[in-house]
Amino acid sequence: MGAVARPFVFAWHFLTAIPLSRGHHEPTAPELAASMAWYPVVGILIGGALAVADLLLVNVFAAEVANALLMVFLILLTRGLHQDGLADTLDGLAGGRTPAERLPIMRDPRIGAIGATGLFLSLILRYAGLLALPHALRIPTLLCMPAVGRWAMVTLAWASPYARPEGGLAAPFLAHLSRTHVLVATGVLTGALSVSFGLQSGLVALVGGAAIVVVLWAGCRTWFGGITGDILGATNEVIEILFLLLVPLLLALS
């Protein structure tokens, strides 16, 4: 496997449930960091799968059923990784008053009432966003939504310290993450948004996403002292849902 292909495969295996290679290939820390530059590419491929599934589903089922099945497909495709991160993050945020109290709660495999409620509400908001999405924006939004969420993960990871001094799942990804990786990821996302919505509208969506990432960055520093793998998963969910809900408004302003 080539030096370029390896980081893409690692990104694909981490973000999806579909194996491209049977071997684990023992990724190094620099390769794990390099794989994050591929996150928006993997997001576009996931979005393409969503768009194709949507075209098939809407021709067979009513809109309400098609949207629900589309959400099931996305969760199966990504193993529910980011939903799990969202629930753990909300439990930690609600269960402790300081970062030192919140971080251990997030490692508890059991889901609490706040985490379950937040997860339920996130699914309702995603469903409502899909149902209300104008037909003309549906395919480009489905195509770009996963890429925007995964770009936000890369950007927030680069801008933030790791919250746990003892390390964790996300620590190897962050140790060698560089500005170049972020710029590559941003370039890929900018291209996808520009092709899907037009250059001006795409840039408006990118600026809006960057503003939300800045807010999340400030919140993570205050509430958790940095980021963890769970927080990155929660970031993906928040950004995807907000993109789904706000993209008609953002495009109307452009």
pLDDT digits (tens, 9 = 90+) for 135-164: 999 999 999 999 999 999 999 999 999 998
Report pLDDT for 1: 56
Report pLDDT for 254: 62
- Residue located via tokens 């960091």: 33
CA triplet 213, 215, 217: central angle to 5 degrees? 65
Amino acid at 239: I
Report pLDDT for 21: 76
Report pLDDT for 109: 87
Retrieve residue 162's tokens: 């790791």
- The Cβ of residue 205 has, within 10 Å, a number of other Cβ atoms equal to 25
Dist. CA 67–CA 153, nearest whole Å: 25
CA triplet 99, 175, 96: central angle to 5 degrees? 10
Report pLDDT for 5: 81
CB 13 within 8 A of CB 25: no
Dist. CA 253–CA 212, nearest whole Å: 17
Report pLDDT for 220: 94
Dist. CA 233–CA 88, nearest whole Å: 10
Those residues of the chain that have pLDDT short of 50 are none
Q: Which long-range contacts link 21-26 to residues 24+ away (Cβ below 8 Å)?
A: 25/1
Report pLDDT for 48: 97
Report pLDDT for 3: 59
- The Cβ of residue 64 has, within 10 Å, a number of other Cβ atoms equal to 11
CB 95 within 8 A of CB 105: yes
Report pLDDT for 54: 97
CB 97 within 8 A of CB 217: no
